[in-house]
A and B are shown apart, each in its own frame.
Chain A
Amino acid sequence: MADLKKWHELPIGGVIDKPATALAYKTGSWRVMRPIWHEDKCTSCMMCWLHCPDNSIVVKGGKMTGIDYEYCKGCGVCASVCPVKAIDMEPETKFLEEAE
């Protein structure tokens, strides 16, 4: 707990005085399965974007552009709601091997 703030350095009342501080907590490390997006099949219908519980579908100008693996927990909801099967779920272990 060496780098944690001391009592007199914290805001009072247990208040978190800034928004969205959870962004510092990267949930991507939880992932067991990795969603793989196939751009060629994607119609940018936005169903995956709408449902993703971790806001990890990246969009630009109304089009899907990728997946944010920093936070994606690999739930597979995106793949399951995709009407054209443009997302596959692959085990993370596969990418570990690839990285090696």
Chain B
Amino acid sequence: MAVNLKQLAVEFEDPNKIGITSGHRLCPGCAAPMTAKMALMVAKHLGYDVVVGLATGCLEVSTTIFPYSAWSVPYIHNAFENVAATISGVETAYRALKKRGKLKREKPIKFIAFGGDGGTYDIGLQALSGAVERGHDFLYILYDNEGYMNTGNQRSGSTPPGSYTTTAPVGKKLPGKPQLKKNIVEIVAAHENVYAATATVGEPIDYMNKVEKALNFEGPSFIAVLSPCVRFWRIPNDAAVSITKLAVQSKYWPLYEVEKGVYRITKKPRSFKPIRDFLEQQGRFRALLSRPDADKVISMLQDYVDKRWERLLALEEATKDKPAR
């Protein structure tokens, strides 16, 4: 498709056609609705109808406070940890009813599950792995805000080291969460016949191209979208987009995809910014940055992102033209 914004703007002149509507109660400037709307527009633009599944979390609670639904597409929320299993049931029902001639429709339906990082890296990981392993035809979009935000900013397996959370606070003794983020894309990519990618709202064209690829991929697909929480990242309401551009430029959030084991870096910045720049822009790292051992944590992180980037380059080279199947 190669996303054409003008064309999309004509197509979705009536914003209620997008799928997620106004009137939701996410914080001003939250990136979660951006993540959702971009994906939905691509799907519809490609000629698909869409059914969405949501894991419990900010995007879910703030868009469906009874009797107010901010969705103009069919929607199901089941629980926190099971959106992948739930959507696998919906997708299977679709195949079953079509096969039996009980569902007569030409236009194909695509199934998109949205989960937060808590619902994906942590409590929902098993259901996600199961659904991907079984090979359901669905797209899982992780909106990664690096913490349990709906419940007030607790640590998740996605929270970066030193980011202030209420369950791994930076204290007098401890410098906050010591562990690095789980590498969720690698985890998903380790399944057979899967498309897995990173993306972010600050690079919308890259993201939307990946959504297109994912939807047209035969089998399960997964996109991890860095989606800032303005509230608990302690950034200004207008900063969700700019901070993610910095995340890409600082190698904090490299943009790449893995298609059947073949790695491809989709954006290679000409020059990089130090990780410190990314951290300094966010209030969630303020307590860390004011500690005497701040430099130790920062240089550990810098070293980590540098090495990861080198590894990605190497993987890209090594897997070129060598799909796993």
| Residues of B40-85 whose CB lies within 8 A of A | 63-73
The residue on A at minimum CB distance from B37 is: A55
Q: Which of B7-15, B108-116, B145-153, B287-295 has 4 or more CB atoms under 8 Å from chain A?
A: B7-15
Any chain A CB within 8 A of the CB of B260? no
Chain B residues with Cβ below 8 Å from A73 are 28-29
Give the shortest distance, in Å, between B32 (CB) and chain A (any CB): 8
Cβ of A27: which chain B residues have Cβ within 8 Å of it? 22-25
Q: Which of A16, A44, A56 has the most CB of B within 10 A?
A: A16
Total residues of chain B contacting the partner, CB 8 A: 47
A27 and B27 CA atoms in complex are apart in Å by: 10
Among B90-98, B232-240, B299-307, B310-318, the stretch that binds chain A is B232-240
Are B23 and A24 interface neighbours, CB within 8 A? Answer: yes
Check: A92 CB closer than 8 A to any chain B CB.
no
In chain A, positions 45-71 with a C-beta closer than 8 Å to chain B are 45-47, 49-51, 53-56, 59-62, 68, 70-71
Cβ A76 vs Cβ B5 within 8 A: no
Contact A20 B5 (CB under 8 A): no
**Does residue A22 face the partner (Cβ distance < 8 Å to B)?**
yes
Chain A interface size band reads 35 or more
CA distance A11 to B67 in the complex (A): 10
Instruction: Note all chain B residues with C-beta closer than 8 A to A30.
Output: 28
- Bound form: Cα–Cα A26–B21 in Å: 11
A73 to B21, CA, bound (A): 14
Residues 11-55 of A at the B interface (beta carbon under 8 Å): 14, 16, 18-27, 30-31, 44-47, 49-51, 53-55
Determine the chain A residues whose CB is within 8 A of the CB of B204 once the complex forms. 50-51
Q: Are A46 and B69 in contact (CB under 8 A)?
A: no
The docked-state distance in angstroms from the alpha carbon of A81 to that of B28 is 15
B31 CB to closest chain A CB (Å) equals 7
CA distance A20 to B15 in the complex (A): 11
Q: 22 A-B contacts, Cβ less than 8 Å apart?
A: A14-B66, A16-B69, A18-B69, A19-B72, A21-B68, A22-B21, A22-B63, A22-B65, A22-B69, A27-B23, A46-B5, A51-B34, A53-B26, A53-B31, A53-B34, A59-B10, A61-B13, A62-B6, A75-B29, A75-B230, A80-B238, A81-B242
